[in-house]
Amino acid sequence: MTRSDLRLPSSGSVRRIYAGLALLVMMIPAIAMQFTSEVAWDLRDFAAMAALLAMLGIALEAVLRLARTASARLIGIGGAIALAMLVWVELATGKII
């Protein structure tokens, strides 16, 4: 297999995969609320998580469009995910580690 045989998936399929994963992540607390009282999200919590996931998706799209090399893409994707996780921890606890 040559290097030219390795192709990246189209941006439309990547967007569909990300949207599916984001919906799956949003369903986890909704399902957990059915089984335990420790998870008690309201509409604002779901809206905040949807906004956070949307911003992460936009950041990932920008990284994939602007970064030219694989290492730059990996660094950009890692940075975007790390920043999203930092915001998530801040929203969940109010404390930045």
| DSSP code at position 94 | S
Amino acid (1-letter code) at residue 59: A
**Alpha carbon 45 to its chain's center:** 16
6 or 54: which carries more pLDDT confidence?
54
Amino acid (1-letter code) at residue 70: A
The model's confidence at residue 95, banded by pLDDT at 50, 70 and 90, is confident
Instruction: Identify the three-state secondary structure at position 17.
Output: helix
Q: How many CA atoms are closer than 13 Å to the CA of 36, on its beta-carbon side? A: 5
Q: What is the pLDDT of residues 17-30, one digit of tens each?
A: 888 999 999 999 99
Q: Does the pLDDT of residue 88 top 70, yes or no?
A: yes
Q: How many CA atoms are closer than 13 Å to the CA of 3, on its beta-carbon side? A: 0
